[in-house]
Amino acid sequence: MKLKLILADGTEFIGDSFGYHPTEESCLGEVVFNTSMTGYQEILSDPSYCDQMVVMTYPLIGNYGVNRDDFESLTPALKALIVREHCEEPNNWRNETKLSELLTHFKIPAIQGIDTRQLTRIIRMHGSMKAIIVSEKTDKSKYKELLAQNLGNDQIARVSTQKPAHHPGDGHRIVLVDYGYKKNILKSLLKRKCDVIVVPYNTSFEEITRYHPDGILLSNGPGDPKDIPETLETIRKIQERYPLFCICMGHQVFALANGADTEKMKFGHRGANHPVLDLKTEKVFITSQNHGYAVKSESIAKTHLEITQINLNDKTVEGLKHKKYPAFSVQYHPEANPGPDDTHWLFDEFLESVFKNEVARAKV
C-alpha cells in the first residue's frame, strides 16, 4: 500500500507502508530526524517523541527485530516512523517480533522507500516542521486543512504517569518526577539499590515531601518546557531542600525555574554520538540525545547557575549546576549507552550528593 508524506512547505514523498495502514484517517506530527545507526526500538518507545514523526537517517532499519527487554515505555508515543529500507526478515538471537508487527499492533504508520537523505536535508535547511501522512487516495484538497491542525501542547500530561508507583529498593529513597521518563532511568536507580517512587509531572512539593525522599530526579519528556509553568515553583522548593538531578526536559525546566531561558532549536539534537565537553575535567563524552529545545547560554549569567558542559558541535548548553544548592542537570541521556557507558557516573555523583546531604543534616 502506498502512503504519502506531505510536509508543511508542500513537499511530497510517496513510499510503501510497512506499519499501520491509515485509510480515510490521516496522521499529523512534527517531522524530525535521528542519526542513530541502532536503537530504533528504544527510539520508538521513548516518550520524548510524543507527536513526532521520526526519520531514521541510517538506511536499513528493523534488521535485528524487536525484543521485550529494550522498550523504554509500554506504549509508544511517536506518530510515525520513516525509513529508507525496512528489513522484512530480521536475524538476531534476541529477536522476538518483527518491527512491522510492533508498529501494526500500536497503530503507528510507517513509510519505507523514500529518499530519507533528501528529507533530512530539507529539515536541516528549513527546520523541523509539521507534516501529515495520508493514503495516496486522499483528496489533495484536504491537505491544507489537515496541515492546519494544532499539535497541542499537552504532550507531557499525556505521557506522564497518572498516579504514583513504588519500586522498592534497600538504598536511598528517590522521587522520580515523570515528564515522560525512559525505563533505563528507573533501571539505573534500581541498579544502585535505590528505593524509587515515580510521581506525576505536576505533583506538588507538599505531596513529594510526604514520601520522605532523600533526593529528587526530574526526568526527560516531550515538547516545550514552557508548557508546564506550574512545575517551576515546585522545582525551586525542591532544590532548597533536597539534592536534585535533572535530565533532558528536567534540565530545561530546572533552568527556567532558576531564571534562565530556553528556545526552540532549528532541528534539534537526536542521535547517539553527540560530543559533550566537561568544562571542569576537559574530558569529552559521547552522548545520546533527543531534544528540540535548548537552554539559552546567554541567559545563565543573570542566574545562580553555572554552565558545566557544552556541546562541541554547536556550543549549546549540555550541563548546569546550582552555585548554592546540590542541584545539577544534563541535557543528554546518561542512562543510555552510546559510549557505551561514558556518563553513567552521573547517577553515582547524584547519589554521592544525596549521601553528603544526609551526613550534613545528621550533624545539625
CA distance 265 to 16: 31
Residue 100 CA to its chain's centroid (Å): 23
Q: Is the dihedral of CA 341, 216, 169, 290 positive or negative?
A: negative
Rg of the chain taking only CA atoms, in angstroms: 21
Of the residues 269, 274, 322, 333, only one is catalytic, namely 333
Would residue 248 show up in a list of annotated catalytic residues for this protein? yes
- How many Cα atoms occupy the beta-carbon half-sphere of 142 within 13 Å? 15
Cβ proximity of 41 and 67 under 8 Å: yes
Q: Which amino acid is at 19?
A: G
Of the residues 248, 269, 318, 322, only one is catalytic, namely 248
Burial of 126 (0-12, 13-18, 19+ CB in 10 A): middle
- CB environment 212-245: b (16+ within 10 A), e (fewer): ebbbbbbbbbbbbbbbbeebbebbebbbeebbbb
Would residue 27 show up in a list of annotated catalytic residues for this protein? no
Cβ proximity of 280 and 349 under 8 Å: no
Neighbouring CB atoms inside 10 A of 89's CB total 9
- Range 35-41 contact pairs with CB under 8 angstroms and sequence separation of 24 or more: 35/270, 35/271, 35/272, 35/273, 36/270, 36/271, 36/272, 36/273, 36/288, 37/272, 38/64, 38/272, 39/272, 39/288, 40/81, 40/99, 41/66, 41/67, 41/70, 41/71, 41/99, 41/102
Would residue 86 show up in a list of annotated catalytic residues for this protein? no
CA distance 346 to 330: 9
Neighbouring CB atoms inside 10 A of 181's CB total 30
Of the residues 30, 42, 72, 335, only one is catalytic, namely 335
Catalytic residue positions, numbered: 248, 333, 335
